[in-house]
Amino acid sequence: SSNSGDDVSCSNWEQNGEICRGSGYGKVVSVAAAAAAAAAAAQQLPFCFVPPFTSLEQRAKLDSAKRFVTELNIRAVIAKQATLQMQQPQAQPQQPQAKPPRQPITMLCRIYVGNIGYDIDEDGVRVAFSPFGSIKAVEMGWDATRTKHKGFAFVEYELPEAAALAIAGMNGAPLGMRSIRVSRPNNVTDASQVIDEMIKESNLQNWLYVANVRRDLSEGDLRLVFEAFGSVLQCVLAPATEAEAANGDKHRGFGYLQYETAQEATESMKNMKTFDLGGQVLRVGRAATAPEKSVPHLLREPPPPKNNNADQSESSSTTATNCQTEAESAACSLKSGAAQILSADNSVAQGNGDSGS
């Protein structure tokens, strides 16, 4: 609709772009009325007057001014962020977590023995645990006021293999009038995992540690016994010291065996760990340390490739030897039994193959 006086129609204002909104919000007034209202109550009413654009040049200038202000705001934000980053401490790059330090070998050679009877002294403990390997020291806690030990001791072996076998073989075993407790010391953790890592790193999967071997037996005697479970590539015994050699000992009572495969070593360990050889029970376990440390003349080499075309009958015939000593007799019996078992298995397999055909 049209208004008299200075008022004009809304359509004219919208077309010309001369629209002013004040406190009424929606009321359309003329330019003169808006100017008068601004002069009369500029401090009381929240309204403003934007003059209409008279040309495209003014509109372009206004757009340029808006872009300039926007660029200034962006630059201010970027500068503020850069200042905050400089004030904050630089984050250090994350370093890969290092593996916890491995237990020293000397710690893996120690075992704890508890519930020892008062009638057992250090010599008694040494004799009881010597079948598992060479012992470096036996430490017993003594009560000075009562002049007797406190019922426990620490045994330190030269090799960690001996300590592992002693724990497995002596925990709960009778010693004197009591059943002793054998375990790792409290400050030794994850010993089994560390030993497994040592075996993998040294490539000893097909090596065995053998202890409590009679001192009058030779490496050939020991090889003859263990060949019942596979091809023994190497058999070495730790050489005797001068004092032991003076007593007639050929070796120190322990050594190493290398099989052609890890499976053969596993089967041999399961069957021979409590085998009575010449009146002494063998102690057999996995080799964890390099055999050349105990046997200086040993030079480890990778096993030769297995000959699958070898005739088993020929290998079994080579086991027939002259059994002169007690140990050789036991070895021959074990080899003969193993050969018979293999021959029977082959016969059964051939029979099944014939029936299937």
pLDDT reported for residue 275: 94
Report if residue 98 sits inside a domain. Answer: no
Whole-number average pLDDT of the chain: 76
pLDDT reported for residue 37: 61
- The SS3 call for residue 179 is strand
Report if residue 140 sits inside a domain. Answer: yes
Give me the DSSP letters along 104-134.
Answer: PHHHHTEEEEES--TT--HHHHHHHHGGGS-
Domain match, 150 and 179 both? yes
pLDDT reported for residue 190: 82
Distance separating alpha carbons of residues 240 and 17, to the nearest angstrom: 115
Distance separating alpha carbons of residues 277 and 308, to the nearest angstrom: 31
Q: Which of 146-155, 184-193, 259-268, 301-310 is predicted with the least confidence, judged by mean pLDDT?
A: 301-310
Domain match, 123 and 185 both? yes
Inter-CA distances, 56 with 18, 60, 141, Å: 16, 6, 104
Domain match, 264 and 242 both? yes
Report if residue 247 sits inside a domain. Answer: yes
Domain match, 225 and 188 both? no
Domain match, 212 and 263 both? yes
Confidence of residue 79 (pLDDT cuts 50, 70, 90): confident
Domain match, 183 and 110 both? yes
Report which of 134, 118, 131, 213 is spatially closest to residue 175, judged by C-alpha positions: 118
* Better pLDDT: 129 or 336: 129
Report if residue 208 sits inside a domain. Answer: yes
pLDDT reported for residue 65: 84
pTM over 0.75: no
| Last-in-domain residue among 268, 286, 304 | 286
Q: Is 38 exposed, middle or buried (0-12, 13-18, 19+ CB in 10 A)?
A: middle
Domain match, 184 and 207 both? no
Domain match, 188 and 212 both? no
Domain match, 180 and 237 both? no
Angle at Cα 127 formed by Cα 124 and Cα 130, nearest 5°? 145
Q: Please count the residues of the chain.
A: 357
Inter-CA distances, 291 with 107, 159, 217, 273, 298, Å: 19, 10, 19, 19, 7
Domain match, 109 and 184 both? yes
| Last-in-domain residue among 237, 259, 286 | 286
pLDDT reported for residue 312: 46
Domain match, 182 and 149 both? yes
Q: What is the pLDDT of residues 19-77, one digit of tens each?
A: 444 444 445 555 566 566 656 655 454 555 556 655 777 778 888 888 888 888 888 88
pLDDT reported for residue 49: 54
The CATH number covering residue 211 comes to: 3.30.70.330
* Better pLDDT: 254 or 316: 254
Report if residue 254 sits inside a domain. Answer: yes
pLDDT reported for residue 141: 83
Domain span at 243: 203-286
Domain match, 216 and 176 both? no
Report if residue 300 sits inside a domain. Answer: no
| Last-in-domain residue among 166, 192, 218 | 192
Q: Domain tally for the chain?
A: 2
Report if residue 302 sits inside a domain. Answer: no
Q: What is the pLDDT of residues 206-224, one digit of tens each?
A: 999 999 999 999 999 999 9
For 115-134, what is the mean pLDDT? 94
Kindly report the number of other CB atoms within 10 A of residue 18's CB atom. 18
* Cα dihedral sign, 143-146-147-148: negative
Angle at Cα 303 formed by Cα 300 and Cα 305, nearest 5°? 160
Report if residue 152 sits inside a domain. Answer: yes
For 309-322, what is the mean pLDDT? 45
Q: What is the pLDDT of residues 92-108, one digit of tens each?
A: 666 666 555 666 788 89
Kindly report the number of other CB atoms within 10 A of residue 311's CB atom. 9
Distance separating alpha carbons of residues 272 and 226, to the nearest angstrom: 8
Q: What is the pLDDT of residues 148-200, one digit of tens each?
A: 889 999 999 999 999 999 999 999 999 988 999 999 998 888 888 889 999 99
Distance separating alpha carbons of residues 251 and 210, to the nearest angstrom: 12
Q: Is 186 exposed, middle or buried (0-12, 13-18, 19+ CB in 10 A)?
A: exposed
